[in-house]
Structure 1
Amino acid sequence: MQIRYRTSTLHLEDMPLDIGYASEKVTLKNPAGELFSIGGHNGFTQLIVTAPFIDDEFLTQLGEINTLLSLNALDSISKSVAVATPKDEEVELEGWQYGVDYDEAFGDYYGIRLAKGELGGEFAKALFIISKDGALFYNEILDDLNKPFTLERALPKIAAAMQCYTGKGCH
């Protein structure tokens, strides 16, 4: 997959996890050094967003996601931001867990690590929805790092993921 950033063309190191496959539970480390898990079968719908950098536009879009989820009574889901490397700036994301892929498990399993070159080793800008039974229900991996997520497509997918739980795990 080719991804644009400014005048560069970037590539993913691996193939991204496909919709319908079981997601893997992985551990991230928050800025306080505490570990927490995301992905996998945990009985909750999960929204996971990744990015190579956190800028004002990205923070604005997270705020928009919070607003849309709240307005549509979908704010009971687990929301996480995962990055490949620690960011220098203090990151505070209201209502979101924030974590670094300290052991590289998330980037490897979900296939969103950027290959060598500009931003090499960082994550692509991506949005994952994992259903309550642990299946990857929806993903959006942007082909341009400066574009926003397509929230009008993601919102119905979040609602559907919350309703499809069978209690039997991914099948």
Structure 2
Amino acid sequence: MPTLTKLKGNDVALYGNQVNVGDSAPVVTLPNSGLEEVTIGGAQDKAQLIVAVPSLDTPVCAMETTKFNNQAANVEGATVYVVSMDLPFAAKRFCSTEGIENLQVLSDFRDKCFSAAYGTLIAEGPLRGLSARAIFVIGKDGKVVYKELVEEITAEPDYEAALAALKEAAAK
């Protein structure tokens, strides 16, 4: 049975490898808004918060990115990434317009390697080809310590739970 999320109450199947708490976080390389390659996942010297969103060009995604820019980026010993299917040029414009300076916005537009590796690629419906809304916290050892696949794509994630998991992972 495929993993499901919802879009306006309707079931939507997801494609890709389902990554869960305790799993090793897949390593992927994505371009940032300056087209520089950034590697995320796996073991790193800091805990990682990876926020998957469908598009920065929607109100919920913009609000979510802004909240994490203001809150999660203050967690010492952590790096925060927002991954969307937006082109790097659009992401750069968004970050400039919204004052996003405390996290890295990455694009999965080229080959959808993040969405496929983490199981967030929407397989059907009007948002097919975009990423579902999800949060992954990865410890310094490269293990997933927190995951939230937001049940309704149009809803915000549990910020408090994600931030608490990130703070705990960064302190280890």
Please tell me the TM-score bracket, short chain as reference.
0.7 to 0.9
Equivalent residues of 1:128, 1:140 under 8 A apart? yes
Distance across 2 between alignment mates of 1:140 and 1:6: 18
Distance across 2 between alignment mates of 1:152 and 1:91: 24
Question: Which of 125, 132, 141 is residue 124 of structure 1 equivalent to?
Answer: 132
Structure 2 match to 1:59? 62
Structure 2 match to 1:34? 36
Q: Kindly state the Cα deviation for residue 159 of structure 1 after the two structures are TM-superposed.
A: 1.7
Counterpart code for 1:135: K
TM-score for the superposition, normalised by structure 1: 0.83
Distance across 2 between alignment mates of 1:67 and 1:106: 24
| 1:96 correspondence with 2:98 | no
Consecutive unaligned residues in structure 1, runs of 5 or more: 165-171
What percent of counterpart residues are identical?
25
Aligned with 1:82: secondary structure?
strand
Distance 1:44 1:88, change over 3 A: closer
Distance across 1 between alignment mates of 2:84 and 2:51: 9
Counterpart code for 2:46: F
Q: CA RMSD in A?
A: 2.1
| 1:160 correspondence with 2:165 | no
Question: Which of 11, 14, 37 is residue 13 of structure 2 equivalent to?
Answer: 11
Distance 1:27 1:142, change over 3 A: same
Counterpart code for 2:160: E
TM-score for the superposition, normalised by structure 2: 0.82
Counterpart code for 1:127: I
Most deviating of 11-20 and 129-138: 11-20
Q: Kindly state the Cα deviation for residue 19 of structure 1 after the two structures are TM-superposed.
A: 0.6
